[in-house]
Structure 1
Amino acid sequence: MNQKKTIELPSPAPCFDVLLSPTPRGARLARLLAVDWLRTLGLPYRVTQAAEQIVAELAANAATHGRVSGRGFRLALLAGTDALRIEVTDTRGEDLPLLSTAAPDASSGRGLVLVEGLADRWGVGLGPAPRKTVWVELNLPRC
């Protein structure tokens, strides 16, 4: 008699993915949806708070600097065993984010400094054209 073996596949990592309009309203919705999803995972408060700030900044940048009429931006969150990965993709691949120091009296220009301070790792990936993805990873504490 042939016996069938049951193979247990690892459960996929929890993920969240949404396409939003490149507007202030879309950026705000990105933050709200991310916070709601992160709360369902039961992540530590420190991670959730950092992720909320990072999503808010990256989504605002996508809505402001990555905006192309008729094209949305994508927010993706992936909770692995060791890290939470945040990705924001827009269609302005030619306009890469620059980490710079804002003038003391400037009303903007500090967002990526905040992202760098909160992130364990971050960077930019290009493609497929005309897209760019700004990604951030936050280490998750081990139990």
Structure 2
Amino acid sequence: MTSNPASTATPTQPAVPAHHLEMRHTSTPRGARLARALSAERLHAWGIPYGTEAHDAIVLLVAELSANAVRHGRVPGRDFHMRLVVPAQPIGAVRIEVTDTRGERKPEPAQRLPGADRTEGRGLLLVAALADRWGWGPRPCGSPGKVVWAEYDRRNPGAQSVLGQI
């Protein structure tokens, strides 16, 4: 008979339960729309209802990051990857990550608003205005490309007042 001491291994589950949505999408406008639509449905199912300020802001962040991956991070034949992590209780930030395969194109917001006659150049300005934090970094494991991420903190309602101004 052998004795087995109590396990000293650390738990594998996170301390705060969270909901996850991860999907690969084609690097096309249709793929970006699908990422937005699926995120909207999942947020509603996870308790962030349609029409709320948090839902609208998070969906807009997903839409902008996905559209940027399609427009600026596209490599023909390569998909983009979208990841959405929502804490099960409103005690932490919702995190959106979009990965593309173009590492040489760094995301930089415009220094000022583009003219009224231009239809592009506002995406990262919206991300910067809506997100509590955002940034980018290399893809994990040395893969080519980058990850652009944004966090929306549901505990900080004052930071999202920009939605009414858009």
Q: TM-score normalized by structure 1?
A: 0.87
2:72 is aligned to 65
8 Å CA contact retained: 1:99, 1:112: yes
Distance in structure 2 (CA, Å) of the matches to 1:106 and 1:97: 19
Q: Which moved more, 1:28-37 or 1:75-84?
A: 75-84
User: In the alignment, which of 149, 152, 157 is matched to residue 135 of structure 1?
Assistant: 149
2:98 is aligned to 88
Tell me the CA shift for residue 125 of structure 1: 1.3
2:54 is aligned to 47
Amino acid of the structure 2 residue aligned with 1:24: P
User: In the alignment, which of 5, 21, 31 is matched to residue 36 of structure 2?
Assistant: 31
Identity %: 45
Tell me the CA shift for residue 11 of structure 1: 6.7
1:122 is aligned to 134
Taking a change above 3 Å as real, the CA distance of residues 11 and 107 of structure 1, as seen in their structure-2 partners, is: closer
2:117 is aligned to 105
Amino acid of the structure 1 residue aligned with 2:150: V
Tell me the CA shift for residue 43 of structure 1: 2.1
Instruction: Please state if 1:21 is matched with 2:31.
Output: no
8 Å CA contact retained: 1:93, 1:129: no
Distance in structure 1 (CA, Å) of the matches to 2:154 and 2:16: 18
Gaps of 5+ in 1: none
Q: Secondary structure at the match of 2:107?
A: coil
Distance in structure 2 (CA, Å) of the matches to 1:136 and 1:69: 25
Amino acid of the structure 2 residue aligned with 1:52: V
1:75 is aligned to 82
Gaps of 5+ in 2: 157-166
Tell me the CA shift for residue 95 of structure 1: 0.4
Q: Secondary structure at the match of 1:133?
A: strand
